[in-house]
Chains A and B, each alone.
Chain A
């Protein structure tokens, strides 16, 4: 046998067993699961089941209709609305997707960073609130010149989040407390603290307080400027997200800091033996992670025309986990994953109009990431080849290590 076909099949195997194919298949499966729920809850479909055997076409037709129109309205609401009168209005959904994707990308980068360091930051919510507190304080309580005000507010948001993150890292490094439990608790603590601050006009509450927990909108000098003029809501938050994606890529792939972060993620014992202070890396990683989340916080604080409500964290902290997982915790992946889930958020209202509860997108989102979480499952479903290992020895060792149970 000549060498080339062998090589070709080898290459094909590697692609198939790699992350990319699996990701695409997971997304498709996720949409399928969502479609099943849409069909199952569709009245026309359920009614047609009653006479399924006499006219199966009706049921299939109803199923097809609900799925195409459901996902069709998602497409029109998030990418391109072919039914709009003008081109300007037709591409408006796309700009909404970009706008809504920005905080997901930013926070997703933050969560992804901790995954790379072998940690799990489930505290995006608390960190985003902490960042919003600082950014909102600067944006509503200080008077600074245009642009400088925005910059200072963004920095405040980053610092506010990063400090909470670093505190979590510090507590983990110092006492061995698990970051998952710490971050969950900080989520609740920060949420209630934010609520308290928003109620008091002397703190963060509206100056003309109506007794509701709500902040003033950011001062005009602090608002993130619009990119495409006043017809579109898209603002500089998205540019910030793109810059953050680049910064993340440089940090993790090119810099020595990222090298040490990854080293600790892959093998903390070896890192310690190599002179890396694992404790310090934990603090740094949680701080950096939260700093990215803080950018999302600034995005929320500086681009909400009505001012912040207690729910302004918008569940971004948790959505970011799914973004990071789908994006494989690397910069380009997180960008794409953030765009996908941003499109879900943008398209939800237009699905609502059509009559399909946009909550179905939560199911799609959850299903996609569930499939991502278990590579062997997708491989089994689609009979993909297992990942290649060049040495059997490492295979055996891995097995033995797993057998060994806990460290």
Chain B
């Protein structure tokens, strides 16, 4: 039988290698040629660690040179991929990002120490709300519902976790109610988007306004009046997994954490598995890509969307709990502080893929700790620019690579039965 197949003439562009090469040149010039005096000491182990590894010491500007050249080499690899009309693989981008991060750390800490374990560990802790928020957003978007209300879900989760934990003195109930809080926000989004066919972006933005209003009102009217009883939950205990937590670097970073971090670490690969390897995920993605087609094979589009959006809200609500009982120890006004919007960017940056999105979230977590730390080691450096880095990266990524990423096709489009 005939198999007509015209050659695809669409080509993988040269945006990746060009971007990578320009950053490489930037690193060589600013961190190498114009680099700063002094040695940078990378501390691998903490003083309290069981196994002590020696620190690594390297001249700041030579590190700039070395990492710049490595970055250029990776750009060259990316170029060869593009020439073969292949995408640059994810691991190459991750490697590239890691080297870039080391170059930046080395430059910032010239004449100082870089506490690697502390920085990576804190990045992870700070990234957890973003990761869980992004997974929530991803679950909504994969079934075709735009979720701009992640911010609201985080806030609702943070609020519920703090208040319920304080009142009941039970963190478990706090976590559960955080999920319920996030799910409630999702429920409104789901009902408006699926039943009332409202414009999803608008509903999301409005939900943010509403939930900020509600939590701020209750905070002002109630939590501040009676903080001791209703907003004094403290934080979850840090769990040390025996033996594993003694592994250098990885141990303290991964195996010595609060339950919220563990949940995030487990949830990301689980979500990946569900989305891409199971019946549930296949159906969800079908609904997000072509709801009518899913309908014609007997999948209930509305119900699928409803459940995934609600579950997504639970994930984001848990992310909110990570803000209060997982980190700060109390609820504060508008404490999500834009994490929800960052999570939204992370979903796109991660191309609607759980693992890539989690990695992108780590980048944001890193930038937050970097700002604090950089202020200490080199006070002269304008930290406002450092905090801008992930946002600029997002803009570049969205602008340069959007052609390669494909959102679910039915995203933001309501579906109605005849």
Contact = CB atoms under 8 A, between A and B. Distances in A.
B173 interface: no
A256 B415 CA distance: 34
Interface string A305-326: 0000000000000100110010
Contacts of A373: 192, 198-199, 202-203, 206
Interface string A173-193: 011111011101111110011
A363 B392 contact: no
A365 B211 CA distance: 11
Interface stretch (A97-105, A269-277, A396-404): A396-404
A186 B409 CA distance: 26
A185 B395 contact: yes
B395 A406 contact: no
Given A182-B395, A186-B395, A405 B221 contact: no
Given A196-B384, A362-B212, A180 B221 contact: no
A359 B217 contact: yes
A360 interface: yes
Contacts of B264: none
A192 B403 contact: no
A332 interface: no
Interface in A150-201: 171, 174-178, 180-182, 184-189, 192-193, 195-196, 199
A250 interface: no
B210 A367 contact: yes
Interface in A46-85: none
Contact of B410 (A184, A187, A405): A405
A189 B196 CA distance: 35
A109 B99 CA distance: 46
B145 interface: no
Given A184-B341, A192-B388, A403-B416, A177 B209 contact: no
Interface in B258-277: none
A108 to B, nearest CB: 14
A178 B394 CA distance: 12
B292 interface: yes
Interface string B187-226: 0100010011111011101111111111011111110000
A405 B384 contact: no
Nearest to A42: B221
A10 interface: no
Contacts of A367: 210
A148 interface: no
Contacts of B338: 188
Which of A171, A367, A373 lies at the interface centre, i.e. has the most chain B CB atoms within 10 A of its CB? Answer: A373
B238 to A, nearest CB: 31
A175 B391 contact: no
Interface string B376-418: 0000001011011001101100111011000001110111111
Contacts of A400: 418
B201 A180 contact: yes
B196 A185 contact: no
A387 interface: no
A181 B212 CA distance: 20
A196 B402 contact: no
Contact of B415 (A175, A188, A402): A402
B192 A377 contact: yes
A37 interface: yes
A67 B344 CA distance: 38
B180 interface: no
B399 A376 contact: no
A388 B363 CA distance: 51
Interface string A376-404: 11000000000000000000000110111
B398 A177 contact: yes
Interface string A183-227: 011111100110110010000000000000000000000000000
B357 interface: no
A357 B215 CA distance: 12
B398 A178 contact: yes
A406 to B, nearest CB: 4
A125 B402 CA distance: 24
A357 B220 contact: yes
B344 A184 contact: yes
B398 A182 contact: yes
Contacts of A176: 402-403
A196 B210 contact: no
Nearest to A319: B209
B394 A192 contact: no
B203 A181 contact: no
B157 interface: no
Nearest to A120: B201
A395 B289 CA distance: 24
B344 A404 contact: no
Nearest to A369: B206
Contact of A405 (B199, B290, B391): B290
Contacts of A196: 382, 384-385
B384 A195 contact: yes
A349 interface: no
B384 A192 contact: yes
Contacts of B289: 406
Interface in B289-309: 289-293
B95 to A, nearest CB: 25
Nearest to B220: A357
Most buried by A among B199, B392, B395, B400: B395
A336 interface: no
Contact of B402 (A37, A177, A361, A404): A177
B348 interface: yes
B230 interface: no
B217 A360 contact: yes
B161 interface: no
Nearest to A170: B399
Q: Which 8 A-B pairs have the closest CB atoms?
A: A362-B213, A366-B210, A359-B217, A196-B384, A357-B220, A374-B196, A366-B209, A363-B213
Given A403-B292, A405-B409, 20 more contacts: A37-B217, A41-B217, A175-B400, A177-B398, A177-B402, A180-B201, A181-B344, A185-B345, A193-B388, A359-B216, A359-B220, A364-B213, A369-B209, A370-B188, A370-B206, A403-B417, A405-B291, A405-B410, A406-B289, A406-B409
Interface of B: 148, 188, 192, 195-199, 201-203, 205-214, 216-222, 289-293, 338, 341, 344-345, 348, 382, 384-385, 387-388, 391-392, 394-395, 398-400, 402-403, 409-411, 413-418
6 contacts: A180-B201, A185-B345, A189-B391, A192-B387, A362-B217, A366-B210
